[in-house]
Structure 1
């Protein structure tokens, strides 16, 4: 049997064999992929079953830790609230407008006396920043807040006088929202700020003393919001600015016997040379070389620098703490 006579059966058999081999290979690959997917599926099902059988979080340990953390936080908040109780004022009661005017006049007198005793110059017409109420009366509904500010700022100016600056340059007391027809919103706030702006000139020491004294108040809580410091002079210091103390010359006791002194009997007076004779030469001693003067540049700089004054601008808030809200239970 020749190939030509059986060409079709032979080709058909070859194609069938190749197709069968391909099907067998594809089947083997599909079986392996199926086994892998089946294994992954069984693993995920096992994990889900394990999670379903376990206890849902939080566990008792986590719950105990959370309760402790909340309790500690509550204790910290309550301690912080108690720390500010001494600055917390009771409800600010309004007074008659005449009573506030009298209190303002008395406070101005006391502060002015402190500045005068300390030698601090005041701006013309200084009235604690409330000069607008020298020719008009405040509204009665605002007198409670104004009394609070007046007490705080009187103490503030008293501490400034004690610090001893050279001059109080300016004071600005911003209007309360209530003074211009608005209402202050306390929502979500634990305190209210009452700002005042002060500008003065003095030494660095006076600024340090004033800022340090703000922490000593037992009645009001002050916060420095803004501070700007500039030198009162624009040019650099020079040698003419130095001020040195002149050494004091110690003088001995006066000679009671005059310039000539006293000659004892056994001492011979110096003979006065006769007219026309040259005076006797006395042995001369060479002057000892002067000891070198140690230069102390630090002391010289202290005399030249540090004597100029500074200009200080401060925006200070007095905090009015409101009654704390009760903490949520839990």
Structure 2
């Protein structure tokens, strides 16, 4: 090989230069192709981004603003309807300043009026019911801080109970109210009142148990849910009939002798030639002692809703 190169130096030199030139061009071509491939990828990615941007309309636009305006109008209308519906309840939720002594005097006046109304309408009322759930404050005054809230609750319960007296009930069994957080001095309610997370309304739990016939009970339930001044929500209802045992089904004719039944002159359905069977009392006479006159005892768990009043905006320093 070396002899050939020695003998053919010009040809060897040309071959070497050609080989080097080939290798250089190959390397340059590979690098150029690699850069071209990276450039193609970038162009393709940019093209896809442009297509994606063109597919979704850029907001805000005239169309999107129109749709947003429609949604805002619908929302404003719904809010307006809610404000109209709850306006009477929000008005009654305003806490008027009062004193513990005035609260006790009003409680006693409400109690005397309720007792007189029940006596006039032949409604039995227990001693605890007559205090509207505020029997604790018949002997001790509430705190100054709790008095406005308790006054609102007392007026609402008194209004509801007086509505129930017009429904034909026969007895008030119980009026019980749960203690409110503001009545517990161990809790610091000032921090809750100043909190921005305070709920726009507060539920005040109470239970009312009463007794009456079916018609009066239905009227009473309608009166609870149809209050136009105070908002009551029903949590649960327990109903029990005073007659826990069903009427006996053995020998129903024994309830009244057949001879005692009035003869109305109705046509006989007994075939001719057969002895007439002893007449049985009409079914109305059998079920009358058990249907329509029995008393129904109802216990209703309620929430009296108190709406928080919006705070007055402080004047700006500007």
User: TM-score, normalized by length of structure 2?
Assistant: 0.66
Structure 1, unaligned runs of 5 or more: 1-38, 250-288
The equivalent of 2:17 in structure 1 is none
Alignment counterpart, residue 149 of structure 1, candidates 135, 150, 153: 153
Alignment counterpart, residue 217 of structure 1, candidates 214, 217, 227: 227
The equivalent of 1:131 in structure 2 is 135
Shift of 1:121: 0.9
The equivalent of 1:61 in structure 2 is 63
- DSSP-derived class of the 1:307 partner: coil
Structure 2, unaligned runs of 5 or more: 1-39, 264-274, 313-318
The equivalent of 1:96 in structure 2 is 99
Instruction: Output the CA distance in 2 between the equivalents of 1:235 and 1:92.
Output: 49
Q: Is the 8 A contact 2:125 2:173 kept in 1?
A: yes
Shift of 1:213: 1.7
Higher Cα Rg, which structure = 1
Instruction: Output the CA distance in 1 between the equivalents of 2:49 and 2:211.
Output: 76
The equivalent of 1:176 in structure 2 is 180
Alignment counterpart, residue 88 of structure 2, candidates 83, 86, 89: 86
Cα distance, 1:51–1:103 mapped onto 2, change above 3 Å: same
Cα distance, 1:127–1:144 mapped onto 2, change above 3 Å: same
- DSSP-derived class of the 2:124 partner: coil
Instruction: Output the CA distance in 2 between the equivalents of 1:99 and 1:88.
Output: 23
Shift of 1:153: 0.9
Cα distance, 1:47–1:235 mapped onto 2, change above 3 Å: same
Total equivalences in the alignment: 254
The equivalent of 2:211 in structure 1 is 201
Please state which structure has a larger fraction of its residues in helix: 2
Shift of 1:47: 4.0
User: TM-score, normalized by length of structure 1?
Assistant: 0.64
Q: Is the 8 A contact 1:94 1:142 kept in 2?
A: no
The equivalent of 2:165 in structure 1 is 161
Shift of 1:56: 2.3
- DSSP-derived class of the 1:211 partner: helix
Counterpart check, 1:112 vs 2:98: no
Instruction: Output the CA distance in 1 between the equivalents of 2:163 and 2:295.
Output: 19
